Amino acid sequence: MVNLLHLDLSSNQLTGPIPIHITNCSGLEYLSLSNNNLNGSIPYQAGNFAFLKTLDLSLNLISGEIPFSIGNFLNLLDLDLSHNFLFGNVPTHLPHSYLQHLSLSHNNLNGTIPSQIANLDALLTLDLSHNWISGEIPLVIGNMRLWHLDLSHNNLYGRIPNSLPHFNWSYINLQFNSLQGQIPEHLWPFHEQLVGNKDLCYDNLNIKGEFKDFQPCFASHRVEDVLHYLKIFLPIIMFLAFFVIGFLFLHKRKIKNCKDQPRSIKNGDIFSIWNYDGRIAYEDIIKATENFNGKYCIGVGAHGNVYKAQLSINKIVALKKLHHSKTENLVNEVEVLTRIRHKNIVKLYGFCLHRRSMFLIYEYMEKGSLFHALRNDTEAMELNWNIRVKIIKDIAFAVSYLHHGCNPPIVHRDISSKNILLNLELKAFVSDFGLARLLDPDSSNQTTMAGTYGYMAPELAYTIVMTEKCDVYSFGVVALEILMGTHPGEFLSSSLAQNIKLNELLDSRLAPPSNEIDVQDIIFVATIAFSCL
């Protein structure tokens, strides 16, 4: 097998880890194991492929970090590890002599984009999309010869470097990050690939119609001019600031006390707001809901009712009015949610404790719950197979973040289709943390029975110990419910599940998937769902 040059085992439904003995084929120049169900990590011995030019492990279930030995592929031209569950930082030890195409998209990579990426002199394609990469876009990327760059769906922030070249690109995508500042003029032709960055702006009013997804910049001064004026006025501003602070300190001590407190006290309310652009008084909420009139009620749960409210600041929010006996749950829910920052988890704006009412203020989800969407034929038809797969992935990302991205890990304890909400773009968000508990890694005792029947792990019939595995089981049930269009019910415990074909389970309201990518994705998520049960 030393003389074997080309090995393609893609799309064969292979399972298990990558066999180490495959590295004995040290003469390989092409290796593709893509589109299978391989799991485990990438063997360190993979570095034995000294002559390899193409390595494709995409569309598998591979996890772990990218091994350091991958830098031994001195002749590598194409490296595709996309659509897996790899985590850790973007590697700095990639082969830099000949590598032309690098795809690490759709994984769980975090950290920043390393400046060493510029050492890849021959690189033409760089795809790091759909990860958890943060930080700023390195300036050195502007020195590369890239013609395809995809950094979309990450947590990048800061300004778009002006050093990004304007003559090489055939494709650039920076969508759905947290980039800010003025869009460089040479990237105007790619403005559709910049949407989802709410703080980006443009400075030419003549192109307003084309840039409907962005706001105009309020100032277009050059940085040098700003620094010039700062040198002149900063001393004056600082003097006035110290004067005002001293005046307020001497004459309005109550203001300082109010700032020191995390909650404002007004008319018996204890009110707190996070990540919100205004103060909402209790009276405003009473007025917006007509004292929680039933016509504004959009949901009923075990811990309280949910109301839709159009506030005076022209912002629609969801108000969860809690039962008086659930004060401890309120504190728990707030403490958990204020630490969570994730694109697939419903955002908490604030909360209020009042002698007459207690409620939470959430981001409003226009499409309501996944439970109701699947049970309404018209809405269910909108959820085509591609959208359903994306919804399952959204939920998986949220649960993965709770279990692996939070310290200590968080167990949701009540994952069900009623607690999955959809926005106008049919993107899924996990909600309702009234039952959430922080799971201390040093303790396995989470002994408060919780959850929704039909979604609870069967072992809870014998024990009430709650772990992350209970969430994993519930996720598997929800994933099957999305594919089937209804709750799996008795199918979960039926012996028929052993012999039934996947196409017999799929929602009959939709035409069977005919697109090859949809078919592969459905097989992939179905495999994951069954492995969770």
CATH number of the domain to which 409 belongs: 1.10.510.10
Best mean pLDDT range from 264-273, 312-321, 427-436, 513-522: 513-522
Residues 342, 407: one domain? no
Q: Residue 519: inside a domain, yes or no? A: yes
- From 167, 185, 216, the end of a domain falls on 216
Residues 305, 425: one domain? no
Please tell me the predicted confidence (pLDDT) of residue 233.
Answer: 73
Q: Which two tokens stand for residue 222?
A: 């050059």
Residues 397, 314: one domain? no
Query: Is the preceding peptide bond at 458 cis, omega within 30 degrees of 0?
Result: no
Residues 298, 323: one domain? yes
**Range name among 92-106, 365-379, 423-437, 454-468 with the lowest pLDDT average:** 454-468
Position of tokens 């009234």?
434
Q: Residue 228: inside a domain, yes or no? A: no
Position of tokens 């996944």?
370
More confident residue, 359 or 123: 123
On average, the pLDDT of the chain sits at 79
Are 71 and 97 contacting, i.e. CB atoms less than 8 angstroms apart?
A: no
Burial of 41 (0-12, 13-18, 19+ CB in 10 A): middle
Residues 330, 416: one domain? no
CATH number assigned to the domain comprising residue 319: 3.30.200.20
Q: Is 320 annotated among the ligand-binding residues?
A: yes
Please state, in angstroms and rounded to a whole number, the distance separating the CA atoms of residues 405 and 402.
6
- From 192, 216, 240, the end of a domain falls on 216
Query: Which residues span the domain enclosing 317?
Result: 292-362
Q: Residue 80: inside a domain, yes or no? A: yes
Residues 340, 406: one domain? no
Query: pTM to 2 decimals?
Result: 0.50
Residues 454, 351: one domain? no
Q: Residue 24: inside a domain, yes or no? A: yes
Residues 43, 166: one domain? yes
Q: Residue 255: inside a domain, yes or no? A: no
Is the pLDDT at 258 greater than 60, yes or no? no
Residues 79, 175: one domain? yes
Residues 413, 478: one domain? yes
Residues 306, 385: one domain? no
Coil vs helix vs strand at 372: helix
Q: Find all residues with CB under 8 Å of 91, minimum gap 6, and list them.
A: 66, 68, 70, 71, 114
Please tell me the predicted confidence (pLDDT) of residue 428.
Answer: 94
Residues 32, 68: one domain? yes
What positions carry a catalytic annotation? 414
For 375-408, how does the pLDDT look when each residue is reduced to its tens digit (9 = 90+)? 999 999 999 999 999 999 999 998 988 888 777 7
**Structural domain count, the chain:** 3
Please tell me the predicted confidence (pLDDT) of residue 257.
Answer: 39
- From 155, 190, 216, the end of a domain falls on 216
